[in-house]
């Protein structure tokens, strides 16, 4: 609101207009098709303002008229829907054994999902930046070739990410102090759009918030599955980043403390990459799951492709293989124990697990739910623990969505 006791600055009017544009876009995204009068009635903006904002948004290709009319008394109204097909966000994701790129437009349509087998933990940051840049260039060529404009790119990393898009520490990748955003910008030779970096967990929960069956859930958590286990935390509809952006590092929560000897049998020393033992990641990370359930898998070399191993575990579990089922139940209990801490701290409505945790959910989640119910203080009926339905490219999808955030916040695209 503009204060009346100080001069009205042009910037203030600009800010108000930007905020109002975001209000109109958000309303149409949620309630389309809707008329200008509907927008005015339900947002509280006056009709002249709505009319002017809508014209501007149509001109920039962010809204379009469908020509549909509502069956109502009085003059038929022209209906509006979100357009935005012209503008694309790119999201990349550094997974345990692959790089993924997703392009999505403003209406949320996924235009491409490409994967490239890549073991970032074994190849190091320089090679990873080169591979990310190559994948980005191919995606940009495809998107711009179809007459669309790339508005931004966001990369999801399994580790800590600071405000400059640098990675101070990513244990799962063996990275320390990697200025990823700067390096990627340099490798792309000033691509003409912003390049951002975020944690894969923050991007995955953003994707859930927008695209999944729990879209719009105000108190939502996504736990990533992979070499790392990170938590993307949404509380009261807002992403919780913490003071320095490092919130959500649930992967190194000690979950073995106090566990019964039977629960720790067969785990070896449960040594974690962080130097401690019994962390969630050292028990439920994809490498830990494969090591525990398929002790014969590639004993002499590091596994660089987890998909066949996870497929095998799934097949064995389906066939009722007793050691695999027992192992999955134990891992599920550890998962439930970690989730109970999040539930007691943040009181979410839904906790969604992704990656291999989602693939193995039929065998992990029953035990995890029992453990969760036994450990949380609040009535357990109020929280759901579910598998993500967004697939293993959730973080990349969230990255593409994040890259469109400035337009969604009401800024007009420069293009």
Footprint on this chain of Zn ion (rule: CB under 5 A): 252, 272, 274, 279
Among 340, 354, 218, residue whose Cα is nearest residue 284: 354
Distance of closest approach, residue 342 Cβ to Zn ion, in angstroms: 17
* Alpha-carbon dihedral angle through residues 393, 397, 398, 400, given to the nearest 10 degrees: 140
Of 273 and 369, nearer to Zn ion (C-beta) is 273
Of 72 and 276, nearer to Zn ion (C-beta) is 276
Of 57 and 231, nearer to Zn ion (C-beta) is 231
- Tell me if 132 sits within 8 A of 108, measured CB to CB: no
Distance of closest approach, residue 243 Cβ to Zn ion, in angstroms: 22
Of 161 and 272, nearer to Zn ion (C-beta) is 272
Of 234 and 279, nearer to Zn ion (C-beta) is 279
- Residue 134 burial (10 A CB sphere; 0-12, 13-18, 19+): middle
Structure tokens at 185: 């910008």
Distance of closest approach, residue 28 Cβ to Zn ion, in angstroms: 45
* Measured distance CA(229)–CA(27) in Å, rounded: 35
Distance of closest approach, residue 281 Cβ to Zn ion, in angstroms: 6
Distance of closest approach, residue 351 Cβ to Zn ion, in angstroms: 20
* Measured distance CA(79)–CA(68) in Å, rounded: 5
Of 151 and 256, nearer to Zn ion (C-beta) is 256
Distance of closest approach, residue 170 Cβ to Zn ion, in angstroms: 13
386 C-beta neighbours (distance < 10 Å), count: 16
Residues β-bridged to residue 100 = 93, 115
* Measured distance CA(250)–CA(279) in Å, rounded: 9
269 C-beta neighbours (distance < 10 Å), count: 9
């Amino acid at each position: 609101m503009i204060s009346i006791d100080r001069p009205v600055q042009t910037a203030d009017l600009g800010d108000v207009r930007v905020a109002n544009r975001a209000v109109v876009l958000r309303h149409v995204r949620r309630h389309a098709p809707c008329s200008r009068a509907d927008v005015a009635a339900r947002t509280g903006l006056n009709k002249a303002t709505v009319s002017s904002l809508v014209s501007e948004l149509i001109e920039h290709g962010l809204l379009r008229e469908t020509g549909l009319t509502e069956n109502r008394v009085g003059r038929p109204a022209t209906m509006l829907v979100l357009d935005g097909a012209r503008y694309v966000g790119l999201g990349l994701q550094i997974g345990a054994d692959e790089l993924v790129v997703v392009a999505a437009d403003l209406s949320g349509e996924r235009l491409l999902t490409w994967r490239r087998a890549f073991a970032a933990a074994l190849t190091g940051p320089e090679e990873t930046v080169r591979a990310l840049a190559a994948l980005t260039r191919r995606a940009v060529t495809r998107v711009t070739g179809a007459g669309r404009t790339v508005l931004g790119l966001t990369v999801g990393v399994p580790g800590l990410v600071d405000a400059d898009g640098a990675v101070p520490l990513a244990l799962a990748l063996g990275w320390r102090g990697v200025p990823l955003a700067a390096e990627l910008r340099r490798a792309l030779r000033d691509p003409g759009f912003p390049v951002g970096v975020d944690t894969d967990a923050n991007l995955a929960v953003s994707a859930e918030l927008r695209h999944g069956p729990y879209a719009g859930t105000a108190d939502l958590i996504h736990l990533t599955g992979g070499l790392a286990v990170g938590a993307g935390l949404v509380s009261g509809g807002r992403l919780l980043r913490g003071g320095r952006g490092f919130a959500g590092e649930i992967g190194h929560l000690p979950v073995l403390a106090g566990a019964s000897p039977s629960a720790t049998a067969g785990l070896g020393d449960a040594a974690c990459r962080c130097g401690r033992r019994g962390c969630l990641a050292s028990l439920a990370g994809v490498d830990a799951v494969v090591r525990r359930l398929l002790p014969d898998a590639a004993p002499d070399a590091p596994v660089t492709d987890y998909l066949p191993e996870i497929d095998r575990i799934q097949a064995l579990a389906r066939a009722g293989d007793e050691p695999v089922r027992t192992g999955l139940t134990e891992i599920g209990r550890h998962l439930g124990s970690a989730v109970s801490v999040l539930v007691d701290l943040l009181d979410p409505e839904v906790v969604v697990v992704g990656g291999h945790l989602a693939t193995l959910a039929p065998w992990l989640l029953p035990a995890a739910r029992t453990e969760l119910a036994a450990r949380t203080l609040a009535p357990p009926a109020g929280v759901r623990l579910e598998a993500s339905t967004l697939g293993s490219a959730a973080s990349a999808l969230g990255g593409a969505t994040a890259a469109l955030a400035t337009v969604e916040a009401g800024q007009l695209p420069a293009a």
